[in-house]
């Protein structure tokens, strides 16, 4: 048995697609001269028995990814850490039909009673040589027992998560009737203390009712965590909505109440899960995880419409600067900021601008899809990590073959994704991505430092040539009981490009501070403008400033205002 077929079987078995005995039986039927292409074809026909065309095509894509993974692993010359049963060649031996894979949409037609013998060779295209893509999982209903030592060797995505797709059965929940006139505060919300006495339908209704009310009260997040009272985040502040401490059983039932069967199976295996939830016209981003006390769930309330840039808090002049960045036909535009800074809504607003102003093909890759984009003047294709594609970097590679004009990357967090994004920006595509960084200089350092030292000079040159601009944003308390968006904008001029290529990113702030005519400025300058516009109090502005000169300017203006108030009071 060739090494590439061994690695192909290893990926199938490790990810639960079939048992070692079934995999070897198919190989025995094909004979000693079987190639990876003919073996992959046989596996495809067995797994896809009874599937409709759409489901079979989805499975075909996963088989191709597994074949590519097998080729790349075989190229190293190592043998997979998996013991296989002895091959018994018998032309007349029946080939077992593995159970339909849970990761592939269930067949919409009745499955055949017996699967025909696999054809030799055929419809599976040859694996793409030289690629290093982890195997896509098509998980069987019952997990395959793999030795504990082998568990750590299973194909995984960057970041440590096992590679695979969850073909989720869509679940849509209708709005519940809520008399919002009676909802004036958290005390008007139903308590979760009776969770143990509610049936599954009652739990669904309770969760949907709670999410709807919290949206009405202006909350941005709901947290349901074992061992703690339920709490929300409103205006950046954490606030308890109930004094009842959730038990592990309560938290499990509440957090799993809105999941499909496939999502529950995925969470029970991975212990982490991220997906989007649709309730009527409202959408929520849900993240579940296992912790020492039980399950914790975070529910982000997604805006109910795509906002204009001005609605989000950008000055009109700055919104126009951002729109000009979206007129480029190639290059890299980054939206950065800490978690909870509103990057997703800004990214959605930018995609909407391009969708209205251009006539192009836009591909977005997100984890998960939060805000739906309808095709307007552009054709918009949205893909979700874990549901439509395995990872960001594999989605980027695939996107380049789909004739895109604009590629939107929900998060650029690893070397391969960043490298593919910069390459795409250089080869005639406008790439828009996000990073979790605090300012423009740190954004570039983060972008460049993921590469090994031997590539630093090349990547600096590529970034200096492809970068169009950076929008770095934060949400801060405005000192008047609300929150305000503050941000800085970097435009890639010749001077900025020289600093990037020479590794002098520490000089970017001074370049930005004198580039107002080109539409760029620092965070401190913007905070000053917000203060002058009456959008921030003196205390709120002072708390977020770091530049000594700008702080001195703010203090002088504040002192003059206080003197004027004193004089007017004396008169």
Express each pLDDT in 287-299 by its tens digit: 999 999 999 999 9
Mean local confidence (pLDDT), 342-364: 96
Q: Contact at 8 Å (CB) between 221 and 232?
A: yes
Mean local confidence (pLDDT), 445-473: 92
End-to-end Cα spacing for the chain: 98
pLDDT value at 526 more than 70: yes
**For 217-252, how does the pLDDT look when each residue is reduced to its tens digit (9 = 90+)?**
999 999 999 999 999 999 999 999 999 999 999 999
CATH 3.30.450.90 fits 172-301, yes or no: yes
Q: Contact at 8 Å (CB) between 227 and 296?
A: no
Dihedral (C-alpha) 324, 329, 332, 334: value to the nearest 10 degrees? 40
Domain pair 172-301 / 309-522, same fold: no
**For 477-503, how does the pLDDT look when each residue is reduced to its tens digit (9 = 90+)?**
999 989 999 999 999 999 999 999 999
Q: How deeply is 217 buried, as exposed, middle or buried, from its count of CB atoms within 10 A (0-12, 13-18, 19+)?
A: middle
Residue 37 is predicted with a pLDDT of 83
pLDDT value at 211 more than 90: yes
Residue 407 is predicted with a pLDDT of 97
**For 405-418, how does the pLDDT look when each residue is reduced to its tens digit (9 = 90+)?**
999 999 998 898 99
Close Cβ partners of 157 (under 8 Å, ≥ 6 residues apart) = 134, 163, 390, 391
Q: What is the largest CA-CA distance in the chain?
A: 108
Residue 74 is predicted with a pLDDT of 78
Residue 224 is predicted with a pLDDT of 97
Confidence of residue 16 (pLDDT cuts 50, 70, 90): confident
d(CA 489, CA 165): 37
CATH class given for the domain over 309-522: alpha beta
- Length reported for the chain: 571
**For 298-320, how does the pLDDT look when each residue is reduced to its tens digit (9 = 90+)?**
999 998 889 999 999 999 999 99
Mean local confidence (pLDDT), 240-266: 93
**For 65-121, how does the pLDDT look when each residue is reduced to its tens digit (9 = 90+)?**
888 888 877 777 777 877 788 776 554 444 444 444 433 333 333 333 333 333 333
Which residue would you say has higher pLDDT here, 8 or 16? Answer: 8
pLDDT value at 449 more than 80: yes
Mean local confidence (pLDDT), 337-366: 95
Nearest CA among 192, 196, 179, 266 for reference residue 222: 192
3-state class (DSSP) for residue 388: coil
13-27, 279-293, 439-453, 519-533: which has the minimum mean pLDDT?
A: 13-27
Mean local confidence (pLDDT), 534-547: 95
Six token digits for residue 44: 């495809």
Residue 150 is predicted with a pLDDT of 36
144-153, 357-366, 420-429: which has the minimum mean pLDDT?
A: 144-153
Residue 89 is predicted with a pLDDT of 58
CA angle, residues 355, 358, 363, in degrees to nearest 5: 50
Q: Contact at 8 Å (CB) between 478 and 539?
A: no
Residue 210 is predicted with a pLDDT of 95
Cα–chain-centroid distance for residue 287?
Answer: 11
Six token digits for residue 377: 């003047």
Residue 135 is predicted with a pLDDT of 35
Residue 167 is predicted with a pLDDT of 60
Residue 163 is predicted with a pLDDT of 43
d(CA 531, CA 169): 49
Mean local confidence (pLDDT), 313-329: 97
d(CA 48, CA 99): 10
d(CA 392, CA 414): 9
Q: How deeply is 266 buried, as exposed, middle or buried, from its count of CB atoms within 10 A (0-12, 13-18, 19+)?
A: buried
Q: How deeply is 551 buried, as exposed, middle or buried, from its count of CB atoms within 10 A (0-12, 13-18, 19+)?
A: middle
Provide the β-strand partners of residue 430.
331, 406
Confidence of residue 509 (pLDDT cuts 50, 70, 90): very high
Phi, psi of 483 (to 5 degrees): -125, 160
pLDDT value at 21 more than 70: yes
Six token digits for residue 218: 């202006």
Residue 18 is predicted with a pLDDT of 80
pLDDT value at 196 more than 90: yes
**The dihedral of CA 271, 276, 280, 282: what is its sign?**
positive
Q: Contact at 8 Å (CB) between 378 and 398?
A: no
pLDDT value at 277 more than 60: yes
Six token digits for residue 402: 């789909």
Domain boundaries, the chain: 3-151, 172-301, 309-522
C-alpha R_g of the chain: 27
Six token digits for residue 168: 């989720």
Phi-psi region of 21 (alpha: psi -120 to 50; beta: other; left: phi over 0): alpha
- Mean pLDDT over the full length of the chain: 83
Whether the full predicted model's pTM is greater than 0.85, yes or no, is no
d(CA 476, CA 488): 14
Residue 164 is predicted with a pLDDT of 56
């Amino acid at each position: 048995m060739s090494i590439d077929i061994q690695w192909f079987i290893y990926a199938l078995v490790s990810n639960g697609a079939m048992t070692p005995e079934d995999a070897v039986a198919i190989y025995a039927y094909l004979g000693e001269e079987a190639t990876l292409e003919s073996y992959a074809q046989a596996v495809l026909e067995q797994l896809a028995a009874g599937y409709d065309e759409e489901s079979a095509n989805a499975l075909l894509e996963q088989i191709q990814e597994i074949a590519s993974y097998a080729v790349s692993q075989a190229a190293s010359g190592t043998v997979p850490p998996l013991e296989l049963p002895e091959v018994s060649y018998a032309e007349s031996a029946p080939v077992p039909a593995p159970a339909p894979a849970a990761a592939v949409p269930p067949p919409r037609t009745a499955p055949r009673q017996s699967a025909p013998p696999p054809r030799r060779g055929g419809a599976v295209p040859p694996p793409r040589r030289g690629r290093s893509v982890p195997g896509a999982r098509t998980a069987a209903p019952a997990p395959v027992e793999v030795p504990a030592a082998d568990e750590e060797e299973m194909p995984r995505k960057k970041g440590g998560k096992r590679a695979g797709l969850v073909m989720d059965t869509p679940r849509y929940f209708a709005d519940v009737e809520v008399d919002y006139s009676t909802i004036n505060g958290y005390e008007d919300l139903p308590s979760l203390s009776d969770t143990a006495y509610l049936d599954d339908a009652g739990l669904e209704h309770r969760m949907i009712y709670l999410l709807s009310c919290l949206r009405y009260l202006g909350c941005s997040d709901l947290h349901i965590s074992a061992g703690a009272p339920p709490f929300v985040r409103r205006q950046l502040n954490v606030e308890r909505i109930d004094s009842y401490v959730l038990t592990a059983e309560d938290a499990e039932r509440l957090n799993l109440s809105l999941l499909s069967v496939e999502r529950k199976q995925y969470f029970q295996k991975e212990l982490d899960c991220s997906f989007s939830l649709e309730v009527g016209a409202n959408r929520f981003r849900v993240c579940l995880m296992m912790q020492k006390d039980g399950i914790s769930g975070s529910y982000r309330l997604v805006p109910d419409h795509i906002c204009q840039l001005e609605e989000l808090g950008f000055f009109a002049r700055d919104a126009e600067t951002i729109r000009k960045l979206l007129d480029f036909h190639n290059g890299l535009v980054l939206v950065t900021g800490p978690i909870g800074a509103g990057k997703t809504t800004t990214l959605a607003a930018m995609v909407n601008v391009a969708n209205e102003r251009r006539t192009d093909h836009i591909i977005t890759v997100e984890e998960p899809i939060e805000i739906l984009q309808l095709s307007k003047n552009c054709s918009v294709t949205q893909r979700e990590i874990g549901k439509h594609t395995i990872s960001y970097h594999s989605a980027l590679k695939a996107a380049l073959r789909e004739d895109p004009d604009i590629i939107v990357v929900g998060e650029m967090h690893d070397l391969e994704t960043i490298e593919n994004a910069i390459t795409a920006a250089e080869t005639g595509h406008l790439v828009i991505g996000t990073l979790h960084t605090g300012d423009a200089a740190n954004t570039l350092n983060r972008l460049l430092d993921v590469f090994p030292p031997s590539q630093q000079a090349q990547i600096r040159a590529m970034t200096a040539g492809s970068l169009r601009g950076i929008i770095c944003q934060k949400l801060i308390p405005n000192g008047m009981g609300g929150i305000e968006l503050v941000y800085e904008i970097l435009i890639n001029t010749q001077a900025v490009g020289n600093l990037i290529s020479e590794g002098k990113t520490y000089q970017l702030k001074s370049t930005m501070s004198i580039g107002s005519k080109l539409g760029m400025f620092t965070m401190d300058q913007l905070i000053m403008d917000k203060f002058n516009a009456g959008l921030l109090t003196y205390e709120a502005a002072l708390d977020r400033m770091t530049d000594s000169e700008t702080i001195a300017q703010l203090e002088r203006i504040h002192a003059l205002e206080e003197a004027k108030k004193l004089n007017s009071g004396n008169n």
